[in-house]
């Protein structure tokens, strides 16, 4: 396990309700292409804060990498709805592009 992953794992272990630490842990796992583990951590972050658009998008990206395209599309559609509701045009455009590439 890399130092970065271990650092964030420890942070989550010390404070399981800290959604920023959990997100950072998920990001570290994602960077190491540990898709299943990252997916689980994104899910935990969303359980605590379901309207966290960036996490929804990253969860969709994990699902793509795992070949779970139907689930990825659903996650990205949810992320798009959050982007629209929260007034974030950049993420909305990013999601639209990803969805177009997925077909």
Give domain limits for the chain: 3-102
Neighbouring C-beta atoms of residue 95, cutoff 10 Å: 25
As a CATH number, domain 3-102 is 1.25.40.10
Confidence of residue 86 (pLDDT cuts 50, 70, 90): very high
User: Cβ contacts of residue 32 below 8 Å, gap of 6+?
Assistant: 2, 5
* pLDDT of 38 over the 90 cut: yes
The confidence score (pLDDT) of residue 98 equals: 95
Confidence of residue 1 (pLDDT cuts 50, 70, 90): confident
Q: How far apart are CA 28 and CA 25, in angstroms?
A: 5
Q: How far apart are CA 92 and CA 98, in angstroms?
A: 10
* Residue with the two structure tokens 């650092």: 7
Give pLDDT tens digits for 45-73.
999 899 999 999 999 999 999 999 999 99
> Average of pLDDT values for 21-26?
96
């Amino acid at each position: 396990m890399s130092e970065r992953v271990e650092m964030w794992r420890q942070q989550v272990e010390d404070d399981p309700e800290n959604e920023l630490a959990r997100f950072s842990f998920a990001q570290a796992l994602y960077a190491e292409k540990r898709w299943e583990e990252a997916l689980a951590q994104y899910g935990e972050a969303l359980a605590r804060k379901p309207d966290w658009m960036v996490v929804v998008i990253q969860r969709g990206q994990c699902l793509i990498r795992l070949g779970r395209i139907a689930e990825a599309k659903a996650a990205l559609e949810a992320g798009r709805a959050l982007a629209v509701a929260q007034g974030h045009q950049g993420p909305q455009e990013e999601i639209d592009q990803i969805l177009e590439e997925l077909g």
